[in-house]
Structure 1
């Protein structure tokens, strides 16, 4: 009987953002099924959530070990805020600062585990430099889509996007300002290269969340720009909600007709102003469509009630056809429900890929960062429409209503639904092949390093 091949040990180190942690964890699960042993490193608060997910999904899996990163507790940043899910917007910079200060903890973890390969995230150029100094290969895994990186890398390389080959991808002036206004915290060991050198430092390949079936041309263009092989890992859709089949939300939704209900959610890390909440409510009243609307309040506004944030009498007027949820809803289960007909989303990359995976058309309402580019990608792919903003760069109820009508009332919606369904099917058919390619490329790097050690 042949001896089982020893597993290569992979250390995965995502940033503390929820939108990074879960794609990394999904990739960890898939790699653990392909003869890799995964060490998953993050803050205690993030690991608590991951641990609960593991207990629900695979309680006996020993191929993934959770490793706690010691993140310093700054006076304004106790341990329960060591995740972007909990931290208020005014402390985002403090969280990144604390993360940079955890470098010594990670170095100790690295030296103790002696991994065969490291998969690292944004804000961490010191990780591949540490790995390189010890002769260990490291691979950058981007949770941001290829279209975004392709657009900004082209801008960095050429100083302009006038020659960017995909004219359907663009940013308006106020969107460019939103990108420039990102938090200014010194990133340790950052290079003057694009993205602080994150792509250049990656060993031979770069992993990216996405699928060639969806954004192949942007993957190819990015590969040319950074002179690295870009390997898509698939959409990495996860269902971290557990067994919520008997929840009031899903019971209510299942009583609605097929494709009759709009789901509205702006992710776990963005909070609408009261003015934007009022405009969305106006848009929902202007059209006769069922809806589930998730409204989140920041820590500063946690004492605000739904009744105070919404127009007076709104909940009573939409009773029966609308459900407004304060804080949280099982997004994956809502999107996979046959009654859901569209997703009004801020177009964070995880939300876009999840909606596409479940064949749900998108009503794009991008706010900042990569979201406008994702929204234009959605429109270009024919899987959604974008809500036009007003002169003050804010959404209006009237324009939201028009977009809802396009999906639910007009022939346009049928065409978009058909394209979304076909694209989703194509991506699912390619999923195993793409994951196989990821595993093969990582295995090659590990084997190459072993040969060099023995030489």
Structure 2
């Protein structure tokens, strides 16, 4: 069996640290193995710190298919690494990639290497090895067009982008309001901007770029990349929309069965799922307003809570590992008053299992791209609650262009979204006619996403196009 596996095309895949990067690239790898007969070495970046419980469970799952080999890269010592989330992520990736050449030679030279967007030093490492490198872009196509435009923006704009008086025009696409810009470009003098700009400038070096989206979800941005003179002149590498790649299966434990059993007893489309991604956290004041807003809405809910923190991504590197007691930070009496109407889960829940459940009718989400795709794929409309990174840009896309989300309003001069506004937007999504329109729209996109991934669908064929090239290259060896 082993010898048969090694005859298949062999590619290596590596993701930057963090579940938001690991999950889509692991799903990408599974599809390569299961549907297209490719042998995949999935290379995991590690540090000398304990890995997050959620990531360890994901990568050690007994459900990983034969032909998908998880390979740990030597751990990076992070004792001297910056604590700022994005700079820390990029530094860990850079240090991890230094061992990549020797690891790949050990497991067998692959026909191709697939990296995510913050591992672009691989282009330097493999420039003389004749291994084509593909980039997997972990967020939206709309954001990809912004990334391609950033070097031009950097060259033409003086001062800070955030201070521009008008929205930023992206060639062939919707404009981006300065206040929606991702964190990494809001201060051009700091390390985050230098890292982000460095990696985005190198996107054209890729042999091709995989996009976690599909034709019907973002037709305007895809058309722009294929036809607009700006992107053709860069030149932009071949693009392969292969989404929606989302987490399809998760092993359940006893605590998961408890909230899923509660969901079984609720009416169809009646429960709001509140979860802010693998790293998202709220301040103490905002957490209290969220609790009151949910209670006042009188809607059923499942809420994944974490200890309050003024850092919006406090659990990014240790998701599922933090220990907390909701009684110590939720409003007094909240758990008693909402008993039977709501369920509170500490730290981490099996998101895919909740979203696919027929009782789940809404998702208050941080708008990370993986979570957004999961919600659409399972036909669940969203309340957009962006926190960090590119999530404000995703929220604008989901609400204004795709039309599958609503967004609460932060009053001018206020630091938190208040309970009455939370109550209003929850009821709007779950009860109103406007909510029904959004629900209908997302259900249509769900059907479209399923078709795209199925045999003969646009994403399946986009996948197959690249795999066929790898197989032909293997045959000519």
User: TM-score with structure 1 length normalisation?
Assistant: 0.86
SS at match of 2:71: strand
What is the rounded CA distance, in whole Å, between the counterparts of 2:44 and 2:217 in structure 1? 30
Distance in 2, matches of 1:191 and 1:143, equals: 14
- 1:207 corresponds to which of 182, 195, 210: 210
Q: Output aligned runs, 1:9-408, within 5 Å.
A: 9-33=10-34, 34-43=36-45, 45=51, 48-53=56-61, 55=62, 57-58=63-64, 61-75=65-79, 93-112=87-106, 113-158=108-153, 159=156, 162-164=168-170, 170-173=176-179, 175=181, 179-180=185-186, 184=191, 195-197=200-202, 199-203=203-207, 205-223=208-226, 224=228, 225=231, 226=234, 227-243=236-252, 247-297=257-307, 298=314, 305-379=325-399, 380-391=401-412, 392=414, 394-408=416-430
* Per-residue Cα deviation, 1:278-309 (whole angstroms, up to 9, x for no partner): 11112112211000000123579956531221
Where does the alignment leave 5 or more consecutive residues of structure 2 unmatched?
A: 158-166, 308-313
Please report how far the alpha carbon of residue 348 of structure 1 lies from its aligned counterpart in structure 2 after TM superposition.
0.3
The answer (yes or no) to whether the contact 1:174–1:393 under 8 Å persists in 2 is no
Does structure 2 retain, via aligned residues, the 8 Å contact 1:171–1:372?
no
Change (3 A) 1:200 1:332: same
* SS of alignment partner, residue 329 of structure 1: coil
Task: Name structure 1 gaps, 5 residues minimum.
Answer: 78-87
What is the number of residues matched between the two proteins?
Answer: 432
Alpha-carbon distance, 1:196 to partner: 3.6
CA offsets per residue over residues 130-186 of structure 1, 9 Å max, x none? 233111111001111111121343343354764336775533437556643597269
Cα distance in structure 1, aligned partners of 2:253 and 2:247: 14
Contact 1:29–1:64 under 8 Å retained in 2 = yes
CA distance 1:233–1:275, shift in 2 (3 Å): same
**Per the alignment, do residues 438 and 272 of structure 1 end up closer, same or farther by CA in structure 2, a change over 3 Å counting?**
same
Q: Give the distance between the partners of 1:7 and 1:251, measured in 2 at CA.
A: 43
So what's the TM-score if we normalise by structure 2? Answer: 0.82
Segment drifting more, 122-131 vs 363-372: 122-131
CA distance in 2, matches of 1:101, 1:186: 19
Separation in structure 2 between the aligned mates of residue 66 and residue 368 of structure 1, nearest angstrom = 30
Residue 11 of structure 2 contacts residue 110 of structure 2 at CA under 8 Å; is this kept in 1? yes
Q: In structure 2, what is the Cα distance between the partners aligned to 1:309 and 1:222? A: 47
How far did 1:274 drift? Answer: 1.0
3-state SS of paired residue (1:319): coil
Q: Measured at CA, do residues 390 and 167 of structure 1 come closer, stay the same or move farther in structure 2, by a change above 3 Å?
A: farther
Structure 1 SS opposite 2:216: helix
RMSD of equivalent CA atoms? 3.1
Confirm or deny: 8 A CA contact 2:213 2:241 kept in the other structure.
yes
- Does the aligned pair in 2 maintain the 1:153–1:222 contact within 8 Å? no
